[in-house]
Amino acid sequence: MSKSTFSTHHGMTDLLPGEIEQWQALEALIHETARRYHFQEIRTPVLEQTELIARGVGQLTDIVSKEMFTFDRGEDHYVLRPEGTAPVARAFVQHHLAQRGGTQRLYYIGPFFRAERPQKGRQRQFHQFGAELIGASGAIADVEIIAFMTAIYRQIGIQNTSLKLNSVGDPSSREAYRKALHAYFKPLAGKLSDISRNRLETNPMRILDSKEEQDQPLKAGAPKITDYLSATSLAHFESVRELLDQMDIPYDVDPFLVRGLDYYTETAFELTSPDLGSQDALGGGGRYDLLIEEVGGPSTPAVGFACGIERLMIACEALGISLAQPAGPDIYFVTRGEEAARWALKKMPELRNTGLVCTMDYSGRSLKAQMKDANRQQARFTVIVGEQELQENLFTLRDMVKSEESQVKSAEIADRVAIT
Ligand code: AMP
């Protein structure tokens, strides 16, 4: 009878030792950057109410209409969160975070889920880090969010990114633009791709998002939103541009940048990398002044970003950037016999308390096999422990890098390894 084996679902991956060190280093860098920008971490559940996402992200978006992982239990409708902003908005409302006063500066790192067709840079479980600045309407907040996002890439050394900027306006600007787009695309309907034709009546702005070949020449002549912005929206957009210039953050205005989520108002941005292939967005974000009210809170302006960690890792790989080297143990105890193994087991916590990374053989292998294992694990030192060594309190300390050996007493091990 053959044994059945299991594997991860399509589009979901394990992160294994060797790769995980990069993730840990990146997470540490994000936490540190957030600390300096004075953003506080928020962790929300992986499961949310389906209605929250449907209302927050928008019924007509790809995410809600076809990419949600949902299930029901009794009366409750669960969705695996496909993005982080609606959950943070929910938490803001649920916990009355506005009462803490001032603006709320929140960031998160975690897994998200979308039932997309997996390809390089596009998974069904992926990870994002993101930030939300809630309670500020001025252009300064937009630019602070963009500065926080770009600082992370700059510190990593991912320099060749481009920041695309647009304004999707306030609702009145959008309505005027929607009509203009509809009027422009309507006579071209026969030439549009099926997806875009379907969007014509429901959400013509999303046609601009189309990656379909046949839509590209039609898109090129479409009206630009910048010509339809209300005076207030235009002034906001101009302030954002001015402040970005002042901050020396380069950007390109892309009048066709519309993000795939419905909650954006005013500023929209996307950070792309030429190293990512067809899925070239590292991250993006924008202002979402209507979302908090939409999910039941008081009218509250807000702006945020979300970036994909897998795509950041792809860019690092393409650029030869290593965030962390997998580190071997400082000391590997090579033991001969049961008594030696027990001694090492007891000695290790003492050394670990001084900050040293210690390990040993756990399966009673031969000395030769243990030395080979220490080598494979890239141990800096080995300490050889046998009956005689224990009796004499004199151990062979081998520097695996220099291939040098010396005799040390038990109490000297920590110092000898730490100072080298
Ligand atoms: P969005 O929430 O759609 O604005 O996505 C923000 C960022 O998350 C994107 O720019 C990608 O870097 C990343 N991302 C979104 N969806 C996926 C996915 N299915 N797989 C991997 N990364 C994703």
Q: How far is CA 123 from CA 25, 112, 158, in A?
A: 22, 10, 22
- Find the helix or strand (DSSP H, E) in which 217 lies: helix 216-220
Q: What is the mean pLDDT of residues 36-53?
A: 97
For ligand 1, mutation pick of 68, 69, 85, 128 (most atoms within 8 Å of CB): 128
pLDDT at 399: 96
pLDDT at 62: 86
Q: How far does the centroid of ligand 1 lie from the alpha carbon of residue 309, in Å?
A: 9
At residue 419 the predicted structure's pLDDT band, cuts being 50, 70 and 90, is low
Task: Assign 23 to helix, strand or coil.
Answer: helix
pLDDT at 261: 66
Could you state, in order of their start, the residue ranges of all structural domains in the chain? Answer: 20-170+230-319, 331-418
Do residues 317 and 31 lie in contact, with contact meaning Cβ atoms separated by under 8 Å? Answer: no
Q: Is the per-residue pLDDT at 53 higher than 90?
A: yes
pLDDT at 1: 57
User: Above pLDDT 90, what percent of the chain?
Assistant: 85
Domains 20-170+230-319 and 331-418 share a fold: no
Longest CA pairwise span in the chain (Å): 94
pLDDT at 112: 98
> Which stretches of 150-280 are assigned E, i.e. beta strand?
162-167, 252-253, 265-272
Residue 131: which residues within 8 A CB-CB, separation 6 or more? 34, 39, 105, 106, 107, 108, 145, 148, 149, 304, 305
Q: Enumerate residues lining ligand 1, CB below 6 A.
A: 83, 114, 116, 121-123, 126, 128, 259-260, 281-284, 306-308, 310-311
Q: How far does the centroid of ligand 1 lie from the alpha carbon of residue 185, in Å?
A: 28
Regarding the domain delimited by 20-170+230-319, which CATH topology (the fold level of the hierarchy) does it fall under?
Answer: BirA Bifunctional Protein; domain 2 (3.30.930)
CB-CB neighbours of 280 under 10 Å: 17
Q: Is the per-residue pLDDT at 32 higher than 90?
A: yes
DSSP state of 288: -
Do residues 217 and 240 lie in contact, with contact meaning Cβ atoms separated by under 8 Å? Answer: no
Residue 369 identity (one-letter amino acid): A
For ligand 1, mutation pick of 63, 117, 126, 166 (most atoms within 8 Å of CB): 126
Q: What tokens appear for 159 in the block?
A: 């320099």
Q: How far does the centroid of ligand 1 lie from the alpha carbon of residue 18, in Å?
A: 24
Looking at ligand 1, which atom is closest to the CA of residue 116?
19
Q: What is the mean pLDDT of residues 185-192?
A: 92
At residue 260 the predicted structure's pLDDT band, cuts being 50, 70 and 90, is low
Q: How far does the centroid of ligand 1 lie from the alpha carbon of residue 240, in Å?
A: 24
This model's pTM is above 0.75 = yes
For the ranges 257-271, 318-332, 346-360, the maximum mean pLDDT occurs at 346-360
* CATH for the 331-418 domain, from 3.90.1300.10, 1.10.940.10, 3.90.1150.10, 3.40.50.800: 3.40.50.800
Q: Which of 264, 265, 239, 268 is nearest to 252 (CA)?
A: 268
pLDDT at 392: 96
